[in-house]
Amino acid sequence: MNEAQRQRDLLAALATGAPSIATLRESGERAARGLEAYRANAEAIADRALASTFVTVQAMVGDEDFKHLAREFWRAHPPEHGDLGEWGDAFPSWLAVHAGLTAWPWLADSARVDLALHRNERAGDASLDTDSLHLLESTDPAQLRLLLMPGTAVLRSPWPIAAIHSAHQLAGEAAERAFAGVRESLAAQRGEQVLVARQGWRAVVHPLEAPTAAWTQDLLDEVDLATALTRAGESFDFAAWLGIALRESWLKGVAASND
Amino acid sequence: MGAGVAADNGVGIDLRQPPAQVGIGLRQPHYAALFETAPALGFVEVHSENFFADGGAALAVLRQARERYPVSLHGVGLALGSAAGLDPWHLDRLARLVQRIEPVRVSDHACFARAAFAPGAPVVHANDLLPIAFSDASLSIMASSVMQAQERIGRPMLVENLSSYVSFADESMSEPEFFAALCRRTGCGMLLDVNNIMVNALNARVADPLAACCAFVDALPLGIVGEIHLAGYCETGGETDGIVIDDHGSRVRPAVWAVYEHALRRFGAVPTLVEWDTDLPAFDLLLGEASHAAGLAARVAA
């Protein structure tokens, strides 16, 4: 038999739940049990892989519903690579249009925060290029770009994504108070912006004011420093932001535009 | 095949490294215990794909482990038997990891995972170790992919026999014949998982599983086995319709130890790994299994 055909048949049998395929040595109940062992393993792997990335989403929908979502998502968007750490980019957008989740419109943006955290923790390691900071004194800002650490991301949402994430980090009475605040913010449709950056080895969420989020996004988009400052407006305190960026290790360095 | 891969034994790798080096599969819950207790181990083995990221904590831990132990990179996703061929992205990541870690061995499985649901459809990755048929066509696919992988990583690799829950009726050779031919053609070695042989024998309901496993070992040519895997399995379902699952979630079964001893007598002191991936035990229990393996190796060598 053609091996490509054989492999397609087996993959399809596992995905669709078909009871058997033509060239199996096993038959009947024994074949069904064998195929089911593979299906169960695939489902468990899909669940574990997505759950390790989308921690907040799993906490919101519950373990059982998350398992169902993981199975559905596997069928809709099966992995392309053998590293499941790379799988799941499409999950937030898939959640956004899932017919069964329309009552939780913030779920997709919370998934985007989870994904940004996951991506950040897999990003390349880097440290501040302190020498490059001298460029801030010696070079025209129009010729400079501020470089943020690998994996840094800014997310903006019409939902309280920072509060939702934060509440899921808490326990006990603190969590109850935080979730009460989340419910208020959801009712008021209070949008939030966050920065995802690494702190030590862990990626963390920093709530941002809208102007700072726009400024940070400009930096991620490699807008030159002069233009970014102009867009941020006179009320933006660059020196204060720089102090925080250095303290929190957000900044990787400064680059001249011709670098 | 790059220069220096071929060697006198015909499989391109120093497969006999007396005394036996016994290692453990290193999993995240045991990281702290490993570094705190620093046990005497021949090597630690990790799943390559868990360290494919550009950076981050996992890679830092692996680098720390590498400072203290030889590291064996054991892949579960290269899918060497896929008729769709290898994923260049995967191969690039593996090659980068090999360069970063300088492992003592690199291995993966004789399985497929990359396939399309229909002719012309996009190739997906099943993220499982799906069985291949032991046929001439499969052998050609495997040999081509193994040579491509070895060329890319610049060294010979080991290929592991699977536990499988279904098999194919139209095979043209036995599994030992398949591995012998694969090693001969490509210069790779074999990673012999004795637990997998037992799982397959039990699932095939052979009259004497231990004898069948020893016959499997005896059918392999001398000099191709570069590592042995030991693990636990579990039984599911009833006596007549149940199957045995290679879940790596318990101690090595007595019959598997017996096959291991038989393999040591045949192949000599081969590096051996105790795998434990689900329901992870206390670190001491895992080390106890490794010590038992080392004791058997010493006894056979004496």
- Predicted pLDDT of residue B183: 98
Minimal Cα–Cα distance from A221 to chain B, Å?
A: 21
DSSP H or E stretch at residue A255: strand A251-256
Task: Name the token pair of B4.
Answer: 């220096």
- The phi, psi pair for B105, rounded to 5°, reads -150, 155
Helix and strand tally (H, E) in chain A?
Answer: 12, 5
Residue B157 near residue B94 (C-beta atoms within 8 A): no
Q: What is the dihedral of CA B171, B173, B174, B180, to 10 degrees?
A: -140
B7 within some domain: no
Confirm whether the ipTM is greater than 0.90.
Answer: yes
What's the number of domains chain B is made of?
1
Cβ-defined contact of B127 to A24 (cutoff 8 Å): no
**Which of A2, A6, A7, A117 best probes binding to B when mutated, by most B CB atoms within 10 angstroms?**
A7
**Which of B127, B200, B206 best probes binding to A when mutated, by most A CB atoms within 10 angstroms?**
B127
Would an 8 Å CB–CB cutoff place A84 in contact with chain B? yes
pLDDT in tens, B233-256: 999 877 667 899 999 999 999 999
Predicted confidence (pLDDT) at residue A89 exceeds the cutoff of 90:
yes
Going by C-alpha positions, the residue among B111, B53, B62, B97 that lies closest to residue A52 is: B53
Q: Is B281 exposed, middle or buried (0-12, 13-18, 19+ CB in 10 A)?
A: middle
Predicted confidence (pLDDT) at residue B288 exceeds the cutoff of 60:
yes
Handedness of CA A180, A181, A187, A192 (dihedral sign): negative
Residue B9 binned pLDDT confidence (cut-offs 50, 70, 90): very low
Domain extent for B109: 22-301
- Rounded-to-integer distance, Cα A105 and Cα B226, Å: 54
B294 within some domain: yes
Residues of B in contact with A38 (CB under 8 A): 128, 130, 165-166
Residue B285 half-sphere exposure toward CB, CA atoms < 13 A: 11
- Predicted pLDDT of residue B11: 41
- CATH number at B192 reads 3.20.20.150
Average pLDDT, chain A: 94
Specify the long-range contacts of residues B150-155, CB closer than 8 Å, at least 24 apart.
B150/B1, B150/B2, B150/B5, B150/B186, B150/B187, B150/B188, B151/B1, B151/B2, B152/B91, B152/B92, B152/B94, B152/B95, B153/B91, B153/B94, B153/B95, B153/B98, B153/B106, B154/B2, B154/B95, B154/B98, B155/B2, B155/B5, B155/B98, B155/B106
- Rounded-to-integer distance, Cα A114 and Cα A91, Å: 11
B3 within some domain: no
- pTM of the shown model: 0.93
Tokens 């078909």 correspond to A18
Q: At what angle do helices B209-219 and B254-267 cross, to 10 degrees?
A: 20
Q: Which residues contact B263 (CB under 8 A, 6 or more apart)?
A: B192, B194, B217, B225, B228, B270
Residue A254 binned pLDDT confidence (cut-offs 50, 70, 90): very high
The closest CB to that of A33, out of B89, B118, B237, belongs to B237
CB–CB contacts below 8 A, A to B: 156
- Predicted pLDDT of residue B17: 40
Per mean pLDDT, which of A105-109, B18-22, B241-245 is the most reliable?
A: A105-109
Residues of B in contact with A42 (CB under 8 A): 126-128
The closest CB to that of A8, out of B52, B55, B116, belongs to B116
- Predicted pLDDT of residue A230: 97
Task: Name the token pair of B115.
Answer: 């396939």
Residue B19 binned pLDDT confidence (cut-offs 50, 70, 90): very low
Q: Quick check: bond before B176 cis, omega within 30?
A: no
Cβ-defined contact of A29 to B241 (cutoff 8 Å): yes
Predicted confidence (pLDDT) at residue B30 exceeds the cutoff of 70:
yes
Would an 8 Å CB–CB cutoff place A158 in contact with chain B? no
- Rounded-to-integer distance, Cα A95 and Cα B139, Å: 42
> What three-state secondary structure class fits A63?
helix
Predicted confidence (pLDDT) at residue A157 exceeds the cutoff of 90:
yes
Instruction: For residue B213, give the amino acid letter.
Output: C
- Predicted pLDDT of residue B15: 39
- Rounded-to-integer distance, Cα B292 and Cα B295, Å: 5
Residue range A120-144: average pLDDT? 97
B221 within some domain: yes
Cβ-defined contact of A123 to B56 (cutoff 8 Å): yes
pLDDT in tens, A184-196: 999 999 999 999 9
- The phi, psi pair for B241, rounded to 5°, reads -115, 5
B209 within some domain: yes
Would an 8 Å CB–CB cutoff place A85 in contact with chain B? yes
Residue range A47-62: average pLDDT? 96
Residues of B in contact with A3 (CB under 8 A): 83, 132-133, 135, 137-138, 141
- Predicted pLDDT of residue A172: 94
